[in-house]
Amino acid sequence: MHNNTAISELIEAGKWISQQGWVPATGGNFSARTNTSFVVTASGFDKGQLGTHTFIELDHQGNRQAGAAKPSAETELHLSMYKLIPTANFVLHTHSVAATVLSRIIKGHSLNLQGYEMQKSLRGVTSHLDILSIPIFDNDQNIDRLSLLVSDHHLHTPIEHGVLIRGHGLYVVGRDIREVRRQLEGLEFLFSCELERLKFSGQQAEVTL
Amino acid sequence: MHNNTAISELIEAGKWISQQGWVPATGGNFSARTNTSFVVTASGFDKGQLGTHTFIELDHQGNRQAGAAKPSAETELHLSMYKLIPTANFVLHTHSVAATVLSRIIKGHSLNLQGYEMQKSLRGVTSHLDILSIPIFDNDQNIDRLSLLVSDHHLHTPIEHGVLIRGHGLYVVGRDIREVRRQLEGLEFLFSCELERLKFSGQQAEVTL
Amino acid sequence: MHNNTAISELIEAGKWISQQGWVPATGGNFSARTNTSFVVTASGFDKGQLGTHTFIELDHQGNRQAGAAKPSAETELHLSMYKLIPTANFVLHTHSVAATVLSRIIKGHSLNLQGYEMQKSLRGVTSHLDILSIPIFDNDQNIDRLSLLVSDHHLHTPIEHGVLIRGHGLYVVGRDIREVRRQLEGLEFLFSCELERLKFSGQQAEVTL
Amino acid sequence: MHNNTAISELIEAGKWISQQGWVPATGGNFSARTNTSFVVTASGFDKGQLGTHTFIELDHQGNRQAGAAKPSAETELHLSMYKLIPTANFVLHTHSVAATVLSRIIKGHSLNLQGYEMQKSLRGVTSHLDILSIPIFDNDQNIDRLSLLVSDHHLHTPIEHGVLIRGHGLYVVGRDIREVRRQLEGLEFLFSCELERLKFSGQQAEVTL
């Protein structure tokens, strides 16, 4: 994939994601792995109104190759995801109310979803009886330390679709733009359902397998 | 009804249903009974951006007559609905947060709604004092088995407006596109109301008649 | 006000009300008192897509003067509101999730709101310390009987802004289209707030003064 | 900043804020400090459809310089915010369901937010571990008295981003239009999250530090 193609796809995706309310207050950041390197959104822009000037090109070591703007503080975490998951070509990081709240009320180290047909919108999931497990990491302003934690976790429990950062948001990956958008939409639907369902459980401990 | 008319109606309905957020992540599928056979949406497409190439034509035995795309996995359940309900000419299958969650928190075999004026948006309901009963079936990845279950249930308790699949979504039928859209909108409104109302009940058992 | 002016205002109001989700599944109906008589929406139309043919003209006795369509079943209640409240020139009847649910979980005969600045969007309310009281009537498919109940209630407790019908929706009045729209929007905001607030009360009895 | 620039920015901001549902029923008001004086929205207009005629120009003493319309009743509170916070050049006052309800269910004198990455959308906040404290004042129809209360509070606890008025809404400030919009969006996101999170706490006392 050429840089320009990746950037076009992310500009379009940004408009849709912004309409959903998942990147408020210039929050969130998006990236893609291209045939030469990486492209990542610059810091501080409205993700619903991205343009070519709001992207930065990085080389494989994460050094800026092109783009005058400041890279997102969370670029390191994007690069970690690409290193850990060789098939990932897109990473979308979003802030929804459901992801933020759910990652706080679940006290354990993962959100475990079961019983939802929509789980099948995630690559490799074939039944609602499967347990779809999304790891939850405590938030950390030190992104290098957070990235290491994610990498360490991956050694014993491979990350497949994405991760939640507690009180912060979701990182979701995909092989192409269609897959990453579908997985984002599927996960956000599941988060909304689970947040509603837990209001009726009275037993939050039960849901952290 | 000609195939082309049915397809046009479903394309329009899909735009509206997608805007409501009831077919996220390429979920859901739609069909119609036409004067020659059936048309049904193909698998894997965004239901808010359907086109003529995203439909498949089936004969009365459910064999593909036209359309290169893969039929939806849940086609069998659509065909069962047409067989059981002779007046049904449209079937819409949707995934809303309210339908998904409500079908999980109600542990019984039906959602029984009473006391809502909006029940009258469903064919044949003339009073809020009537009990509107929507059967709930446990989800099953084996669609043939699920279809049989629905058919067996229909023998003793005829299905009138649609069914809920637990943790999955709604199948709603209608004589024409106006009726099926009105019934979908009415049911989704009722699901949203009931989900809110149950938050105040503290007695969920009471609501499964 | 001429009939044509009233109809134009109601067509515009209908688009906005439909976008808010307050008239789903062809629900709701709207009317105006004009310098010759009354105009009221016909039954069965989408209130977001009204046209001149979807209105009926009634004389002061409620008899149809013009318009081929079927008058709304709830026309009688509109006419009662105009009789009771001489300054009312518009009546909007809507079905929102918040109005429907709130009127069911409050078991008493009125919704009493206090402590909200938004109460001041209702004519005559000058402080959040005032108690804004909206009567709640049990729903009844016999509209004549329901209208009588409303009229009887008005004798001892004059209706000022509107009434709630339990599990059904809101009737709101206004002197002109701006006032009725503002009062509808203000009340719906208050209903949404109160429904959320009551989730934290644990004491529903306390809120029915 | 010229008056005309400030007015243009506020007209644009008003459209967006109205779409978010944060200024229902002609509620809310907006203002800016310009290089000659202040501009503030007139009372009674829909804040999503502002025009140059819906603004009033005030001098530094708060006296009307230009504009025939009636100034907002809450103008005094806007002027107080500018006096207290020398870097504030915009003040937006909004009414959202979340701000209204949250300011009522929190019984203490401030909303204290911690553990949210989104806190960093507020100027000067660098970590989710910081406590972001937004003062809550009891609502008062006497705006002079309310303004004095805010000013007195500021003497011992400087207001940085804005204040909540109980059951009423939010006042948020910013150095420029981008900052005030980002801070409004960030705070509203945080209010929505916190309102949801508290539904799971069962211990509301705990959250008022």
Per-residue pLDDT of chain D (209 residues; tens, 9 = 90+): 999 999 999 999 999 999 999 999 999 999 999 998 999 999 999 999 999 999 999 988 888 888 777 777 789 999 999 999 999 999 999 999 999 999 999 999 999 999 999 999 999 999 999 999 999 999 999 999 999 999 999 999 999 999 999 999 999 999 999 999 999 999 999 999 999 999 998 533 333 32
Q: How far is A194 from chain D (nearest CA, A)?
A: 13
Chain C CA closest to residue D169? C117
Helical packing angle, C177-198 and D97-105, nearest 10°: 40
Rounded to whole angstroms, how far apart are CA atoms B78 and B57?
A: 13
Residue C180: list chain D partners with CB under 8 A: none
Residue A123, Cβ density class (10 Å: 0-12 exposed, 13-18 middle, ≥19 buried): middle
Confidence band, pLDDT 50/70/90 cuts, at residue A71: confident
Rounded to whole angstroms, how far apart are CA atoms D96 and D109?
A: 19
Rounded to whole angstroms, how far apart are CA atoms C142 and A89?
A: 63
Q: What is the pTM of this model?
A: 0.95
Q: How far is B158 from chain A (nearest CA, A)?
A: 25
Q: Residue B170's closest CA among B161, B158, B179?
A: B161
Q: Do A193 and B169 touch (CB under 8 A)?
A: no
Confirm if D45 and D71 have CB atoms less than 8 A apart.
no
Question: Sheet harboring B55-58: ordered strands across?
Answer: B64-66, B55-58, B38-41, B29-33, B90-94, B169-174, B162-165, B132-137, B110-113
Interface of A with D in 163-182 (CB under 8 A): 165-169
Tokens of residue A209, six digits: 């397998």
Q: Do A141 and D128 touch (CB under 8 A)?
A: yes
Residue C126, Cβ density class (10 Å: 0-12 exposed, 13-18 middle, ≥19 buried): exposed
> C: neighbours with 3+ CB pairs under 8 Å?
B, D
Of B168, B195, B204, the CB nearest to A196: B195
Tell me if chain B has a CB within 8 Å of the CB of C156.
no
Tokens of residue B44, six digits: 């894997």
Q: Do C97 and B193 touch (CB under 8 A)?
A: yes
| Helical spans, DSSP H, in chain A | 3-20, 75-84, 97-105, 143-156, 177-198
Mean pLDDT of A143-167: 97
Q: Do B118 and C97 touch (CB under 8 A)?
A: no
pLDDT for position D60: 81
Tell me if chain B has a CB within 8 Å of the CB of C97.
yes
The CATH superfamily assigned to A3-208 is: Class II aldolase/adducin N-terminal domain (3.40.225.10)
pLDDT for position D202: 59
Tell me if chain A has a CB within 8 Å of the CB of B195.
yes
Confirm if C155 and C77 have CB atoms less than 8 A apart.
no
Q: Do A25 and D192 touch (CB under 8 A)?
A: no
Q: Do B95 and A115 touch (CB under 8 A)?
A: no
Confidence band, pLDDT 50/70/90 cuts, at residue A72: confident
Per DSSP, the three-state class of B182 is helix
Per-residue pLDDT tens over the stretch A52-70: 999 999 988 888 888 777 7
What is the Cα Rg of chain B in Å?
16
Chain C CA closest to residue B115? C167
Residue D90, Cβ density class (10 Å: 0-12 exposed, 13-18 middle, ≥19 buried): buried
Residue C193: list chain D partners with CB under 8 A: 97, 100-101
pLDDT for position D203: 39
Tell me if chain B has a CB within 8 Å of the CB of C135.
no
Q: Residue A131's closest CA among A157, A104, A92, A93?
A: A157
Q: Do C198 and B200 touch (CB under 8 A)?
A: yes
Q: How far is C28 from chain B (nearest CA, A)?
A: 10
Tokens 């709701």 found at: C28
Tell me if chain D has a CB within 8 Å of the CB of A195.
yes
Residue A121: list chain B partners with CB under 8 A: 24-27
Residue A104: list chain D partners with CB under 8 A: 115, 197
**b or e along B148-185 (b: 16 or more beta carbons within 10 Å of the residue's beta carbon)?**
ebbeebbeeeebbbbbbbbbbbbbbbbeebebbbbbbb
Rounded to whole angstroms, how far apart are CA atoms A40 and A46?
A: 14
Rounded to whole angstroms, how far apart are CA atoms C11 and C7?
A: 6
Q: Residue D63's closest CA among D52, D75, D55?
A: D75
pLDDT for position D204: 37
Chain B CA closest to residue C97? B193
The domains of chain D are located at: 3-208
Rounded to whole angstroms, how far apart are CA atoms C187 and C99?
A: 9
Write down how long chain D is.
Answer: 209
pLDDT for position A70: 77
Chain D CA closest to residue A98? D193
Q: Give the number of other Cβ atoms within 10 Å of residue A202's Cβ.
A: 9
pLDDT for position A208: 30
- What 8-state DSSP symbol labels residue D86? T
Residue A105: list chain D partners with CB under 8 A: 197, 200
What is the Cα Rg of chain D in Å?
16
More confident residue, B148 or A69: B148
Q: Do B101 and A188 touch (CB under 8 A)?
A: no
Of A117, A186, A196, the CB nearest to B169: A117
Residue D193: list chain A partners with CB under 8 A: 97, 100-101
The average confidence (pLDDT) of chain B is 93
Q: Do C27 and B118 touch (CB under 8 A)?
A: yes
Tokens of residue B167, six digits: 């943790």
pLDDT for position C46: 95
Of C117, C182, C193, the CB nearest to D101: C193
Mutation for B interface: C43, C101, C206, most B CBs within 10 A: C101
Q: Do D189 and A24 touch (CB under 8 A)?
A: yes
pLDDT for position D69: 76
Amino acid making up residue C148: L
Tell me if chain B has a CB within 8 Å of the CB of A188.
yes
A173: pLDDT strictly greater than 60? yes
Looking at the DSSP bridge assignments, the partners of residue D56 are D40
Confidence band, pLDDT 50/70/90 cuts, at residue A202: low
Interface of B with A in 30-49 (CB under 8 A): none
Give percent of chain A with pLDDT exceeding 90: 86
Residue A16: list chain B partners with CB under 8 A: none
Confirm if A184 and B20 have CB atoms less than 8 A apart.
no
Tell me if chain B has a CB within 8 Å of the CB of A130.
no
Mutation for D interface: A19, A101, A197, A201, most D CBs within 10 A: A101
pLDDT for position C206: 33
Q: Do D118 and A24 touch (CB under 8 A)?
A: yes
Amino acid making up residue A112: N
Q: How far is C12 from chain B (nearest CA, A)?
A: 20
Instruction: Determine if residue B86 is left, alpha or beta; phi over 0 gives left, psi from -120 to 50 gives alpha, anything else beta.
Output: alpha
Rounded to whole angstroms, how far apart are CA atoms B160 and D117?
A: 49
Rounded to whole angstroms, how far apart are CA atoms D202 and D209?
A: 16
- List all residues 6 or more positions away from C162 whose beta carbon is below 8 Å from its beta carbon: C134, C170, C171, C172, C173, C183, C187
Q: Give the number of other Cβ atoms within 10 Å of residue A166's Cβ.
A: 22
Q: Do B186 and C100 touch (CB under 8 A)?
A: no
Mean pLDDT of A139-168: 97
Element (H, E) at D113: strand D110-113
More confident residue, A111 or D209: A111
Mutation for B interface: A113, A180, A183, A197, most B CBs within 10 A: A197
Confirm if B81 and B147 have CB atoms less than 8 A apart.
no
Mutation for A interface: B19, B29, B101, most A CBs within 10 A: B101
Element (H, E) at D173: strand D169-174
Give percent of chain A with pLDDT exceeding 70: 96
Q: Do A116 and B97 touch (CB under 8 A)?
A: no
Residue B197: list chain A partners with CB under 8 A: none
Mean pLDDT of A9-28: 97
Confidence band, pLDDT 50/70/90 cuts, at residue B205: very low
Chain D CA closest to residue C190? D97
Chain C CA closest to residue B183? C25
Rounded to whole angstroms, how far apart are CA atoms B34 and B10?
A: 12
Tell me if chain D has a CB within 8 Å of the CB of C65.
no
Instruction: Give me the residues of chain C with pLDDT under 70, please.
Output: 202-209
Mutation for B interface: A17, A119, A128, most B CBs within 10 A: A128
Chain D CA closest to residue C127? D141
pLDDT for position C133: 97
Tell me if chain D has a CB within 8 Å of the CB of A143.
no
